[in-house]
Amino acid sequence: MARIADLLAAGRTASFEFFPPKNEAGWLSLGRTIAELEPLAPDYVSVTYGAGGSTRTRTADLVSWVRRQTSITPMAHLTCQGHTRADIRDILINYRAEGVENILALGGDLPVAADDHAPSDYRYSIELVHDVIEFGGFSVGVAAHPELHPRSTDRHADRGHLAEKLRVADFAITQFFFDVRHYVEMVDELTSLGVHKPIVPGIMPISNLGQVTRMAHMSGAEVPAWVIERVAKSGDDLDDAERIGVDVATEICAALLDAGAPGLHFYTLNRSWAARQIVANLGLRPTT
């Protein structure tokens, strides 16, 4: 296994994100996806955490499976929502016993149902970051929003909070976005605040325009008109839409690498085809 901070220090990374499936069919499908991506030798993969900590057990199960059954370094997402400090300590103890070395410490989403909202000892992700670092033994990442966090009051406050997190964390991974300018401006703004930690851009290949537009709206991101127009040319042909989405993502990735991005993190939605095509287009890994 490897610490992500060390991987980023050694050179450009390529990584993928998965979410814990809800049923046996989903686990079988994800197993095939990981098997298809493993030959690309990803530097690491991340595993998401459901709203309000709702996938706590399934997240841990998937992280443990990746750790034990593959050659890939896993990173576990961990959120503030629905957790006491004792809960977090127990989770970290278990991850350490598993040999997991990487945590992405997040604020997290509230559960959809109000009665599912469990008590939390955390209000902001910076508090969770400090606790994970104090526990020791983990490389710690945080989230960054190039187009500002949806709950930010203003740009100055948003960048200030992100700078505060990155002064103690090792790296950041961004929410997905489609305008490279947003990423470059964010990095420049953090540099002006004296923060130089690696910020890995998150990439969402478009296969379903409606789905991605809804996800972007929830995260405070925008799908530019030029992206919508290009994908819309596919009409009802879903395969063509996915091919166009790969072309768009490849162009965005190439521009990000030219701008100095330290790596690329692909939101796979538990599918492999688009991510494999983009990696091949960019020549990031040997073809298999």
pLDDT in tens, 102-129: 999 998 766 554 455 567 888 889 999 9
Domain boundaries, the chain: 4-282
| pLDDT band for position 131 (cuts 50, 70, 90) | very high
Average pLDDT over residues 165-182: 97
Which residue did the predictor score with more confidence, 117 or 85? 85
Which residue did the predictor score with more confidence, 234 or 167? 167
Nearest by Cα to 224 from 264, 177, 273: 177
pLDDT in tens, 216-253: 877 778 888 999 899 888 888 889 989 999 999 999 99
pLDDT in tens, 62-84: 999 999 999 999 999 999 888 89
Lowest-confidence region among 33-37, 153-157, 249-253: 153-157
State yes or no: pLDDT of 139 exceeds 60: yes
CATH architecture of 4-282: Alpha-Beta Barrel (3.20)
Neighbouring C-beta atoms of residue 200, cutoff 10 Å = 24
Give pTM, 2 decimals. Answer: 0.93
Average pLDDT over residues 274-284: 95
State yes or no: pLDDT of 57 exceeds 90: no
> Known catalytic residue: 17?
yes
Average pLDDT over residues 130-155: 94
State yes or no: pLDDT of 288 exceeds 50: no
